[in-house]
Amino acid sequence: MNYSQFQQELLREIPKVDDLIQDLSMEVPHRIKVIACRDVLEDIRSYILSSPNPDAKSVNYETIRDQIEQRLRSILRPSLRPVVNATGVVIHTNLGRSLLPKEVLQVMADVASRYSNLEYNLDRGKRGIRYSHVEGILCELTGAEAALVVNNNAAAVLITLETLARGREVIVSRGELVEIGGSFRVPDVMEKSGAILREVGTTNRTHLRDYESAIGEQTALFLKVHQSNFRIVGFTKDVSISELSGLSARYNIPIFNDLGSGNFIDFSRYGMEYEPTVQEVISAGADLVSFSGDKLLGGPQAGIIIGKKVFIDRIKKNPLNRAVRIDKLTLVALEGILRLYRDPEQAVKTIPTLNMLTLSRDELRSRARRLQRRLRSLKLSGISIGIADTISRVGGGALPLQQLASIAVTLTSQSKSLSAAHIERELRKNEPPVITRIEDDRVFMDLRTIQEEDHAIIARALASTHARLTCV
152 binding ligand PLP? (CB under 6 A): yes
257 binding ligand PLP? (CB under 6 A): no
Closest to ligand PLP by CB, 65 or 226:
226
Rounded-to-10 torsion of CA 416, 417, 422, 426: -150
Q: In whole angstroms, what is the distance from residue 398 CA to residue 92 CA?
A: 11
Over the window 96 to 115, marking each residue x when it contacts ligand PLP by CB under 6 A and - when it does not, the resulting string is --------------------
Over the window 166 to 185, marking each residue x when it contacts ligand PLP by CB under 6 A and - when it does not, the resulting string is --------------x---x-
On the 0-12 / 13-18 / 19+ scale of CB atoms within 10 A, 77 is: exposed
Could you tell me the smallest distance in angstroms from the CB atom of residue 147 to ligand PLP? 16
Q: Which residue from 36, 111, 147, 154 is in contact with ligand PLP, where contact means CB under 6 A?
A: 154
Q: Please, which of residues 45-104 interact with ligand PLP by CB under 6 A? A: none
303 binding ligand PLP? (CB under 6 A): yes
Closest to ligand PLP by CB, 201 or 300:
300
Helices first, then strands: H and E counts in the chain: 19, 18
Q: Please, which of residues 224-243 interact with ligand PLP by CB under 6 A? A: 225-226, 228
Region binding ligand PLP by CB under 6 A among candidate stretches 42-50, 220-228, 357-365, 368-376: 220-228
Total of chain residues touching ligand PLP, rule CB under 6 A: 15
Q: Please, which of residues 339-358 interact with ligand PLP by CB under 6 A? A: none
Comparing every residue's Cβ against ligand PLP, the nearest one is 260
Rounded-to-10 torsion of CA 36, 37, 43, 49: -160
DSSP 196-237: EEEEES-SSB--HHHHHHH--TTEEEEEEE--TT----SS-B
Question: What are the phi and psi torsion angles at 367 (to 5°)?
Answer: -65, -40
Could you tell me the smallest distance in angstroms from the CB atom of residue 333 to ligand PLP? 14
291 neighbors 262 (Cβ within 8 angstroms):
yes
Q: In whole angstroms, what is the distance from residue 185 CA to residue 160 CA?
A: 15
Q: Which one, of 112, 109, 103, lies nearest residue 328 by Cα?
A: 112
**Element at 102 (helix H, strand E):** helix 102-113
Could you tell me the smallest distance in angstroms from the CB atom of residue 301 to ligand PLP? 6
Interacting residues with ligand PLP (CB under 6 A):
152-154, 157, 180, 184, 225-226, 228, 258, 260-261, 292, 303, 397
